[in-house]
Amino acid sequence: MIRLDFARAVPLTVQVLRWGLFSAGFAVTVWTYILSEELQHRLDALDWKQDASAASAQQVSPTEHREGVTTAPGPQVREVLRELGVDWRGLFVAIESSVTPQIRIISIRPDPQRQLLVIQAKATNGEQALRFVERLQADGTITDAHLVHEAHDDGDDSDGLLDFSISAHWTVES
C-alpha cells in the first residue's frame, strides 16, 4: 500500500520566526491599547479642566424665576465656581513633593478666595521645618511661605517632635 503525504514539515527556524512575529504583533497591539487609554485619560482630564475653567471664567447670568423676578447669583454660587477653577491637583502635588520622612503633615487648610494656605505639621527639628518651607516654594506654585507658629510637643504621648504651622499663598492656574 502506498501512502502519499503531501504535507511538508515546516523547518524549526520558520516556526520560531512565525511565533516571534506573532508575539511581536501581539505586544505592539497591547502597547498601543495601553497608550491609547492613557491618552484618552489625559484628554478627559484636559476636557474637565477646560470645562471648569470656562465655568469659572464665564459671567454667571441672572436667573429668572417663574414670577419673572430677576436675581443675581448668590455669593455661594460664585464661591463654588471660583473653587472649581482652582488647580487643586497641582497644589497638592507641590505639597506632597516637599514632604520628607522627617515631616508629618497634620492638616492642610486652603482658602481659595484669598489664595491662602495654612499647613500644620510636625518635624523632627526646626531645621527640617525650615527646609520644608524652602522646598514648598521651590517650584513656584506656593509662594510667600513662612512659619507662623512652632512649639515642642510636650503632651503625654510626647514623641519629641516640633509642631509648626506655615502660612503661604499659591498661584491659581485654571
Give the pLDDT score at 1: 76
Kindly state whether residues 51 and 91 are assigned to the same domain: no
Q: Is residue 91 part of a domain?
A: yes
Together in a domain, 103 and 158: yes
Evaluate whether residue 68 is within a structural domain: no
Q: Which residues of the chain have pLDDT under 50?
A: 59-62, 64-66, 70, 156, 174
Whether residue 33 is found in the same domain as residue 93? no
Identify the CATH number of the domain in which residue 137 sits: 3.30.1360.100
Q: How many residues does the chain have?
A: 174
Alpha-carbon gap, residue 23 to 20, rounded angstroms: 5
The reported pLDDT for the residue numbered 85 is 66
* pTM, rounded to two decimals: 0.50
Please report the pLDDT score of residue 119 as a whole number.
92
Residue 53 sits in the same domain as residue 91 = no
Q: Say whether both 105 and 165 belong to one domain.
A: yes
Which residue's C-alpha cell is 514632604?
99
Distance CA 94, CA 40 (A): 25
Q: Say if residue 99 is in the same domain as residue 146.
A: yes
22 shares its domain with 92: no
**Quick check: helix, strand or coil at residue 69?**
coil
Predicted pLDDT of residue 59: 47
Domain count, the chain: 2
Half-sphere exposure of 83 (CA within 13 A, CB side): 9
Domain membership of residue 134 as a residue range: 87-170
Res 24: pLDDT: 95
Q: What residue type is assigned to position 69 of the chain?
A: V
d(CA 148, CA 125): 16
Within a domain: 40: yes
Q: Does 115 map to a domain? A: yes
Whether 5 maps to a domain, the answer reads no
Looking at the chain, list the stretches that DSSP marks H as alpha helix, in order from N- to C-terminal side.
Answer: 12-57, 75-84, 88-96, 126-136
State how far the Cα of 90 lies from the Cα of 140, in Å rounded to an integer: 11
Q: Please check whether residue 78 lies inside any domain of the structure.
A: no
- The helix-helix angle for 12-57 and 75-84 (nearest 10°) equals 150
Q: What is the pLDDT of residue 140?
A: 83
Q: What is the Cα–Cα distance from 117 to 163, expressed in whole angstroms? A: 17
Kindly state whether residue 29 falls inside one of the protein's structural domains.
Answer: yes
Q: Is 165 inside a domain boundary?
A: yes
